[in-house]
Structures are given as structure tokens and as C-alpha cells.
């Protein structure tokens, strides 16, 4: 393979691969539903045949326990592919819009689900396999061709993806390129028909700027500081257990994990006590060895240890860990105040700041910052949950759990504002790579009936085009006159 001195894909090869992808897309073969199904099945076998190699690569790059690797990166991808295979025909079928008499009885209107074209898929390092494979699955299902750029910070996984893709998939339609920030500036200078990016908010801004030059549509799956609120009416033990678990998984290097906890003062001591118990339980006895993933590299280890060293809060358990082994245990930092540097940016590691604060004040703090990707709420009081939901904006929300909403099939997963734009998972992923193309037709014999549109214009035809004549409501209605059905769901 022609590569640059850095070992990454050379600009020349990136160009050549892109040209191939464009030609393949132009040939139309990837639009054939049988092709899509075939390639999705091949993608399934790619994962199924190589589970051990994938888990080994994840262990090598980021120290993921075999179960965690299987649970969060292998099983989830296999499930997603199977979901796409079984629903492909339904998702890809033309839709008939509710278009009124003229377009349903006289003429016709359909929405065709057409692939956007050549997609660039850029992945992060925290789920280095799943977060390129899931978008790739959606791209194949939608009929796109795709160039996959895994994170350079997990080189074993990146190299495995680069090796496996051509063994299972048609290389002329789906390919891998490698590189870091420097190589990305060239990769992004080229024109794609879609960019699907998962990564940090600052890099997301670079992606959006590069995409804007070509007016390329993007999905940006970004990060942020997802807070968890534990109110006085929470199941304190369960909250502590699930928050501790969310920090243990992938060593807290998850976009929707708890960044910091707002806990009501009335339950603060009990919550912290239970958190310590669950944290110790999850870490197990030192002689059994930790099942926790490692920090991805020295730079991030230093960043996290600096946070621990410089906090004005009270470190009640955990430590700065071992730089050589790239480990940091879950480190609970109590009595944190909002001006602590610890809260300046996304932690993305196993540090857990606790802020003693009632839920309404917590909501005020959340709304002062950018919209988070996730908010977790622990409460069994509907009015509290409704208050938090009604006064905040976030990509998703989990109630009495952490990260649960990301697992809801076909519900869409994504951020809002600073935490991203667009969504995927299941049908939403298919739609992310799809253009809904409206195709309308009217029979020629209706030409005389529609002749009002032809110049010279005649105001006598005003009635024929005035759709606002039968409004069904009266002038002078008030807010109280409005009748709205539905309502919110009972949570507790
Ligand atoms: P990152 O933004 O540093 O890197 C992501 C990708 O962008 C990598 O492939 C990298 O090579 C590339 N990249 C890096 N610098 C670039 C530049 N200047 N120009 C163009 N491309 C560049 O993110 P990361 O550190 O790999 O991942 C962690 C971040 O991703 C966290 O903020 C986390 O919250 C977020 N994340 C979000 C989701 C989600 O689904 N919303 C999932 C996982 C991670």
C-alpha cells in the first residue's frame, strides 16, 4: 500500500481512493438493494469472524476488558448490522406524502430515499471500532460509498480496520484512510457528499468549517460536559451504583458519561457513602487486578492528573494513578464548586466531581453553559423530572440511569448545539446518509385546469391559488381558547 513517510495514507492515495469511490457511486451499483444487503452481511461476518482480534486490539490500544469490548463495541455493532439488514427494504421504500387530493388522486408525489453519495466517516478513539463501524453500516444501508478514517490514537484498531475492510467488503466502494490532525487537513480539503464525524467539539468546528467550503452536509457527534442530577427524591443507592458504573466503564472516557454530579444537600452524605461502596465494589480487590480500561495516552493522563492535583475540591478516593501503565482509578472529588478548573472543560476520564446543590439551582448552572450531549436525572418525583426536562436542552436524557437513552433502538442518538447536530442509530442512521428526494407528477390533461399559473397573470385567478380561505378558527381567540391533546409521560 502506498503510504506516506508517517505511515499514514499518502495524499496521493487518498485522492486515488476517493476517485474510485466516486466512480463506483456513479456506476449506481451501491444503490441496488441486493448489493447493500450483501455488503451488510459481509460487514456482519467481518465482525463475527474477528471478535477475538477486535477485542485484542481494543485491549492493546485502550486496555478494555474483553467483556466490555464485546458488550460495547462488538455485540452492539453486530446488533446494529442485523437491524439494518432486516429493515433495509422498509427504510429504503418510497414514501407517499400526505399530499392532498391533487397529488394523490389526480397526479402523484413520492419521496425517494436516495444515497447522498461518497461519505467520509471520521472516528474517535474511545470506541475506536464501533464508532466507525456503526456509521459505515448506516452508509452501506443507505447506498453510499464510504471512506473510513479511524482514530490514529488507537493504531492497532485502525490497522485492523484497514486490513479487514478489503477482506470482506468491496474495496471499490468502501475503503480506509489513516492519519492524524495533519493528514486530516488534506483529507478534508477534498469534496465529499457527506461527512459523518464523531469526536470533540473543538475538532467538530474544524470539520464544519471544512465542510462549509464544499457545502457538504455533516453529522457531528460531539462531546461536552454531561451532568447528572441526584435529587432529594432519588433512590440514592441505585444512583450511586449507576453513576459509579458509568465512570468505571471505559475509564470514564465516554461522551455520555457523567461529567459531574449535582447532588441535593439533604442526601449528599448518604450518596457519597454509597458511591464509595460501589466504586470499591467495581474496582474489586487490588490482588485481582483492575478490569478498568486505561487512559488512551500520556497527554490525556497528564491532563487528568493535573485536574486532580489542581482541584480545590476534596479528593475522597482514587489517585493520580500510574503514568507508565496509563491507569487512573475512579477518583471521587467532593465539595467541588462551580469555579473549580475541573469544570472548565469535558473531563473525559475517571474523575467524578460532586457538587452539593439542589436540582433547580443545578438547572440554572446547566443552562448557563453549552447544551450537553446527555443529562442523567435521578429522581422519583414527576414534578422534579418535568422541571429539569422543561428547563434544559440536551442531546438526550436518561432517567434513574446513566447513558440509557443511547441504547433505545431507532430513537436517534445525537447532540444539540455544541454537542452536535444530526443523529443516528437504526433508521435514523439510514436517514443520516440519505437524501429524501421528492418526485412529483401531474398528468398533461390537467394543463388547462392549472393554466392560472401562466403569464399574463389575471387577478381573477386569485381564488384558485388562495389556500387560506377555509381556516377553521375564529378571529380574536386567546391562549385559553387553544385545545391541545397529549401531555407528558409519567416518569416515576
Ligand atoms: P477528536 O476530536 O480529537 O478526534 C476525532 C477524530 O478527528 C480523529 O479521527 C482525529 O484523527 C480527527 N482529528 C483530530 N484533530 C483534527 C483536526 N484538527 N482536523 C480534523 N480532524 C481531526 O476526538 P477524540 O479525542 O478522538 O474523541 C473524544 C471526543 O469525542 C470527546 O469529546 C467525546 O465526547 C467525543 N465523542 C462523542 C461521541 C458521540 O457520539 N457524540 C462519541 C464518542 C466520542
Nearest CA to ligand 1 atom 30: 199
- pLDDT of 2 reads 45
- pLDDT of 115 reads 98
Distance CA 21, CA 218 (A): 18
Place of cell 469490548: 69
CA distances (Å), origin 305, targets 228, 246, 315, 375, 416: 22, 20, 12, 25, 30
- pLDDT of 491 reads 55
Q: Which atom of ligand 1 is nearest to the CA of 296?
A: 25
Interacting residues of 289 by C-beta distance below 8 A, sequence separation 6+:
none
Band of pLDDT at residue 298, cut at 50, 70 and 90? very high
Asked if the model's pLDDT at residue 317 lies above 80, the reply is yes
Distance CA 419, CA 393 (A): 11
Cβ 175 vs Cβ 144: under 8 Å: no
List, chain by chain if needed, residues with CB within 6 Å of any ligand 1 atom.
Answer: 122-127, 131, 149, 151-152, 180-181, 184, 188, 198-200, 203, 206, 221-223, 255, 346, 348, 373, 415, 420
Å from CA of 468 to ligand 1 middle: 49
Interacting residues of 113 by C-beta distance below 8 A, sequence separation 6+:
91, 92, 93, 94, 95, 142, 430, 431, 434, 435, 436, 437
Band of pLDDT at residue 27, cut at 50, 70 and 90? very high
Mean pLDDT, all residues of the chain:
95
- pLDDT of 326 reads 96
Over residues 419-439, the pLDDT tens digits come to 999 999 999 999 999 999 999
Over residues 54-71, the pLDDT tens digits come to 999 999 999 999 999 999
SS (HEC) of 325-359? CCECCCEEEECCCCCCHHHCCCCCCCEEEEEECCH
What's the mean pLDDT in 264-290?
91
The DSSP bridge pattern shows strands 227-230 and 374-378 to be parallel
Burial of 276 (0-12, 13-18, 19+ CB in 10 A): middle
What's the mean pLDDT in 198-202?
97
Å from CA of 188 to ligand 1 middle: 14
Å from CA of 128 to ligand 1 middle: 10
What's the mean pLDDT in 457-472?
85
- pLDDT of 94 reads 97
Task: Using only the alpha carbons of the chain, give its radius of gyration.
Answer: 26
Q: Which atom of ligand 1 is nearest to the CA of 122?
A: 9
Q: Which three cell numbers stand for residue 283?
A: 474496582
Band of pLDDT at residue 455, cut at 50, 70 and 90? very high
What's the mean pLDDT in 465-469?
78
CA distances (Å), origin 485, targets 56, 291, 479: 53, 50, 15
Distance CA 303, CA 295 (A): 10
What's the mean pLDDT in 84-99?
96
Respond yes or no: is residue 280 known to be catalytic.
no
Query: Which one of 73, 152, 183, 221 is the catalytic residue?
Result: 221
Nearest CA to ligand 1 atom 23: 199
Nearest partner of 170 among 267, 32, 52, 292, judged by Cα: 32
- pLDDT of 290 reads 83
Complete domains list, the chain, with CATH: 11-222+424-436 (3.40.605.10), 227-405 (3.40.309.10)
pTM listed for this prediction: 0.95
Å from CA of 43 to ligand 1 middle: 24
Over residues 173-191, the pLDDT tens digits come to 999 999 999 999 999 999 9
Asked if the model's pLDDT at residue 490 lies above 60, the reply is no
The DSSP bridge pattern shows strands 420-421 and 218-221 to be antiparallel
Over residues 368-398, the pLDDT tens digits come to 999 999 999 999 999 999 999 999 999 999 9
Query: Which one of 245, 255, 356, 402 is the catalytic residue?
Result: 255
Nearest CA to ligand 1 atom 14: 181
Nearest partner of 8 among 170, 168, 176, judged by Cα: 176
Cβ 276 vs Cβ 316: under 8 Å: yes
Å from CA of 161 to ligand 1 middle: 17
In eight-state DSSP terms, residue 149 is E
End-to-end CA distance of the chain: 57
DSSP secondary structure letters along 417-485: GGGEE--BSTHHHHHHTEEEEEEEE--GGGTTTTGGGSSSP-GGGHHHH-GGG---S-TT--GGG----
Distance CA 163, CA 354 (A): 44
DSSP secondary structure letters along 83-128: HHHHHHHHHHS-B----HHIIIIISEEEEEEEE-SEEEEE--SSST
Respond yes or no: is residue 29 known to be catalytic.
no
Q: Which atom of ligand 1 is nearest to the CA of 415?
A: 41
Å from CA of 359 to ligand 1 middle: 31
Nearest partner of 44 among 80, 95, 96, 86, judged by Cα: 80
Over residues 100-150, the pLDDT tens digits come to 888 989 999 999 999 999 999 999 999 999 999 999 999 999 999 999 999
Edge-first strand listing for the sheet containing 174-176: 174-176, 145-149, 118-122, 194-198, 218-221, 420-421
Amino acid at each position: 500500500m502506498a503510504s506516506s513517510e508517517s505511515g499514514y495514507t499518502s495524499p496521493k492515495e487518498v485522492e486515488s481512493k476517493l476517485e474510485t469511490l466516486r466512480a463506483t457511486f456513479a456506476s449506481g451499483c451501491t444503490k441496488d438493494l441486493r448489493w447493500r444487503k450483501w455488503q451488510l452481511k459481509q460487514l456482519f461476518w467481518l465482525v463475527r469472524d474477528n471478535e477475538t482480534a477486535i477485542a485484542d486490539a481494543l485491549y492493546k490500544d485502550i486496555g478494555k476488558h474483553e467483556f466490555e469490548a464485546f458488550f460495547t463495541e462488538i455485540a452492539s455493532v453486530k446488533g446494529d448490522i442485523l437491524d439494518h439488514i432486516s429493515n433495509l427494504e422498509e427504510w429504503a421504500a418510497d414514501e407517499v406524502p400526505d399530499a392532498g387530493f391533487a397529488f394523490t388522486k389526480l397526479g402523484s408525489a413520492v419521496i425517494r430515499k436516495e444515497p447522498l453519495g461518497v461519505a467520509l466517516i471520521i472516528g474517535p478513539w474511545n470506541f475506536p471500532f464501533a464508532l466507525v463501524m456503526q456509521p459505515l453500516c448506516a452508509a452501506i444501508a443507505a447506498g453510499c460509498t464510504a471512506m473510513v478514517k479511524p482514530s490514529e490514537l488507537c493504531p492497532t484498531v485502525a490497522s485492523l480496520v484497514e486490513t479487514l475492510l478489503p477482506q470482506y467488503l468491496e474495496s471499490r466502494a468502501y475503503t480506509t484512510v489513516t492519519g492524524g490532525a495533519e493528514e486530516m487537513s488534506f483529507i478534508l480539503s477534498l469534496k465529499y457528499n457527506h461527512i459523518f464525524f464523531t469526536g470533540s467539539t473543538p475538532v467538530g468546528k474544524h470539520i464544519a468549517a471544512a465542510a462549509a467550503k464544499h457545502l457538504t452536509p455533516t453529522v457531528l457527534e460531539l462531546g461536552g460536559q454531561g451532568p447528572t442530577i441526584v435529587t432529594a427524591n432519588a433512590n440514592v443507592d441505585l444512583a450511586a451504583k449507576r453513576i459509579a458504573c458509568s465512570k468505571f466503564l471505559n475509564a470514564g472516557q465516554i461522551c455520555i458519561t457523567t461529567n459531574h454530579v449535582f447532588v441535593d444537600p439533604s442526601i449528599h452524605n448518604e450518596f457519597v457513602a454509597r458511591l464509595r461502596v460501589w466504586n470499591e465494589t467495581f474496582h474489586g480487590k487490588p490482588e485481582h487486578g483492575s478490569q478498568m480500561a486505561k487512559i488512551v495516552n500520556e497527554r490525556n493522563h497528564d491532563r487528568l492528573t493535573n485536574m486532580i492535583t489542581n482541584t480545590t475540591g476534596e479528593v475522597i478516593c482514587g489517585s493520580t494513578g500510574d503514568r507508565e501503565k496509563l491507569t487512573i482509578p475512579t477518583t471521587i472529588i467532593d465539595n467541588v464548586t462551580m469555579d473549580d478548573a475541573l469544570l472548565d472543560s469535558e473531563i473525559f476520564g475517571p474523575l467524578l466531581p460532586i457538587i452539593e446543590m439542589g436540582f433547580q439551582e443545578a438547572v440554572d448552572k446547566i443552562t448557563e453553559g453549552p447544551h450537553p450531549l446527555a443529562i442523567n436525572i435521578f429522581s422519583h418525583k414527576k414534578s422534579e423530572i418535568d422541571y429539569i426536562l422543561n428547563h434544559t436542552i440536551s442531546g438526550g436524557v436518561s432517567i434513574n440511569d446513566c447513558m440509557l437513552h443511547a441504547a433505545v433502538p431507532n430513537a436517534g442518538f445525537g447532540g444539540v448545539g455544541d454537542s452536535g447536530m444530526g443523529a443516528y442509530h437504526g433508521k435514523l442512521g439510514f436517514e443520516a446518509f440519505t437524501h429524501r428526494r421528492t418526485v412529483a407528477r401531474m398528468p398533461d390533461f390537467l394543463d388547462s385546469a392549472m393554466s392560472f399559473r401562466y403569464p399574463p397573470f389575471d387577478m381573477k385567478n386569485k381564488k384558485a391559488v388562495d389556500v387560506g380561505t377555509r381556516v377553521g378558527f375564529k378571529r380574536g381567540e386567546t391562549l385559553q381558547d387553544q385545545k391541545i391533546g397529549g401531555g407528558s409521560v409519567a416518569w416515576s
